Chain A
Amino acid sequence: MDRLKRLIADPRRAQIGVLACLLVYGTVFRNFVLTPLAIPLALGTALLVEHLIFRFRREGRPRPPYESALISGLSSLLLFRSTEPWAYVAVAGFAVASKVIFQFDGRHFINPTNGAVILGSLFLPGWITPGQWGHDVVFAFALMAGASLTLTRAGRLDTAIAFLGSVLFFHAVRHFVFGYRWATTGHLLESGALWLFALYMITDPRTTPQDRRLRYLHAFMVAGFAISLAQFWYVRDSFLWSLFLLAPLVPLADRLTVGATNPPNKADGGLDVRTFAPTS
């Protein structure tokens, strides 16, 4: 029992469980365009890169944060699609490595999977499939229920709610100003891709502002920018692009509020502080 408690004490482990279930669900029931070989390759690469980073940087941890690597690997498998197994290797490896690459004030400011998947879809023989989850309401609720447990632990459920509220707000604008029917909002809210983004990306404690109000503002901006990108520039994976393009604002927001020399504390998100300790 104690062992089980210890196992789920880290919210990242619960997240790994949910992401793995989603991957199985998608592969078995939703016919993901996913080469089976890609799964061990992506996860193996993520763990290996994490291990190598640990070997060369150490940073006083007892062991590499393999949980973080698995989350990046699983998330890339859920979002990225390719017919080339090596592209999954590249994306998963880059996702983990980007935590070291995209640093500012000691924090990696681009969500590792988000950045890797966007860059992968630009430069590799791969693409993002936002429609792959379908519009099954039951699925959305199951995902939400599973994720809410994770997020309650991580203390970021409020960010997800702020984001979804903002999506509703901008859809209301779309309805009243541009004449889109509410049914299109329902259609979006039933999309598995939106829930995945709301519950697992915009809520990442390491790549969103540390100040609660700024986090809400960030969620509001990401939602508004994403809906604008889709509405005016016809961008397909607009939520991922929005988060990616607005990422540089996060360290600025943190600098304004928390200060550069003050790394986030463990209470904020319940994560291992050593994950984002300053590296230089």
Chain B
Amino acid sequence: MSVRLRPRLEWLGVALALVLSTWSSPAQAFCGFFVGKADATLFNNASQVVVVHDEGKTVLTMVNNYRGEPKAFALVVPVPVVLQKGLVRVTEMKAIDQLDGFSAPRLAEYYDPDPCQVMRMRNKMAPSAAGAAPAMEMERKADKKTGVTVEASYTVGEYDIVILSATESDGLETWLRQNQYNIPKGAAGALKPYVTSGMKFFVAKVNIKEQQKAGFTTLRPLQFAFPDKRFMLPIRLGMLNADGPQDLIAYVITKQFRVETANYVNPRLPSDVEVPTYIKGEFKSFYRSMFGNQVAKENGRAVFTEYAWNMAWCDPCAADPLSNEQLQQLGVWWVRGQGGQGGAQQAFVTRLHAQYTPQTFPEDLMLKVTKDSSNYQARYVLRHPFTGAARCEAFKGYKEQVLARREKESQTLANLTSWRVDDIRRRQLPLPAAFGSSDNSNPEDDGWNQQMQDMFKQ
């Protein structure tokens, strides 16, 4: 039987049901309403990983989005030390889904007040298991031919895990092949830097019996804890069997500061910009285009920050902040024993999003904790014009403002996405009746463009 090795960070997608239920009940926030988010489901083939890091220690949770036959799955992750069984567990998706929702780029909408009434609106600020099978300790001995040593071997949940150390990368490749792992070509070359720097290899494959016993149909995320002075994400290994650009979403949780990449430029996405209201119905398509456009602007060589926020609160909230229990499920060890359900947690999340190919990302991601605790979110704003009657002179000025605003929104959207501005203008939602003529999305557009396009089509 051949076991296919999938040594890339390729992880489970997000449960759609949760996303939909969040949409149907928008949460009120400090300014405007949260109406949509662009979560990890948006990007096909997006890997998700949660990195909890503090003072040279890391807990890594890898979401498994492998969708093939479980018996054909295997995963290789370089780790700095031999991971003992007690420091590895399987966890549930729920807390990760919540974290995805909490940190996702978001859409917020506002409704203009009646310009004829002096009114100040004051909105109130709105302020997540492990199963372990008995260990199968194996005798630690080096394979003389390959130089590979099985440092530890055990079963955790539905996974059989071996921790390997190797003296040379060719030997490691041979060992993996001999042990029925189908590894991609060029693996030895990619493994060499990890072997020469003394790293161990965490290798997991699915224990079908355990999986059936547990009754899980999907593979649960694997979580492990280790001392980690490197503070990096080994993305290079995953590129071996990539067949196109890959998306990685890394949620990095520290005690109080934002995390950035040390060896790639780490821009923030354009945020707090007003976009046409019709985007409410196609936020995901907008976000995908906008993100692709930003990636292209950076020649595909940047890691974007989508969110950086103190986890005690949010504004607007795309999902509730994580509870103490959920944080512990993600491996945030320092909140243990602190506060209870609903209490403010000492944790700061940075959501990093990279879209990479082997050419654009020749090195692993080196991370760095800054001393920046300021909050940032990718937030896009919809402003709905006042829909009531024009009852005063001031309405005329307001109407002009709204027309100018709509034109600006069209231009902004065109710049962000590279969509054609004419198309955007045409798609702007009609203005309310009090604004007079049917659609004045572009004050200079008297319908001639549309007329000509229709004629040319014939």
- Residues of chain A touching chain B, judged by Cβ–Cβ distance below 8 Å, are 30-31, 33, 81-83, 125-127, 129-136, 177-181, 183-184, 186-187, 191, 231, 233-234, 236-237
Contacts and interface: CB of A to CB of B under 8 A. Distances in A.
A236 B264 CA distance: 12
Given A30-B265, A82-B371, A129 B260 contact: yes
Interface residues of B, number: 34
A187 B359 CA distance: 10
B211 interface: no
B71 interface: no
Contact of B362 (A30, A177, A184): A184
A231 B260 CA distance: 19
Contact of A179 (B189, B230, B374): B189
A178 B298 contact: no
Contacts of A234: 229-232
Nearest to A183: B362
B370 A132 contact: no
23 contacts: A83-B371, A83-B373, A125-B371, A127-B369, A127-B370, A129-B266, A131-B262, A133-B265, A134-B265, A135-B265, A178-B192, A178-B197, A180-B193, A183-B362, A183-B363, A187-B263, A187-B362, A187-B363, A191-B263, A231-B197, A233-B229, A236-B368, A237-B262
B54 to A, nearest CB: 16
B41 to A, nearest CB: 28
Interface pairs A-B: 8 shortest CB-CB: A179-B192, A134-B265, A183-B362, A178-B196, A127-B370, A236-B262, A125-B371, A187-B362
Contacts of B369: 127
A29 to B, nearest CB: 10
B299 A181 contact: no
Contacts of B263: 130-131, 187, 191
A37 B198 CA distance: 46
A31 B192 contact: no
Interface in B379-422: none
A38 to B, nearest CB: 13
Given A134-B265, A234-B231, A184 B363 contact: yes
A179 B362 contact: no
A259 B261 CA distance: 44
B138 interface: no
B169 interface: yes
A33 B372 contact: yes
B234 interface: no
Contact of A81 (B189, B265, B268, B370): B370
A83 B189 CA distance: 42
A83 B372 CA distance: 6
A74 to B, nearest CB: 21
Contact of A135 (B230, B231, B264): B264
B374 A131 contact: no
A43 to B, nearest CB: 22
A186 to B, nearest CB: 7
Contacts of A186: 362
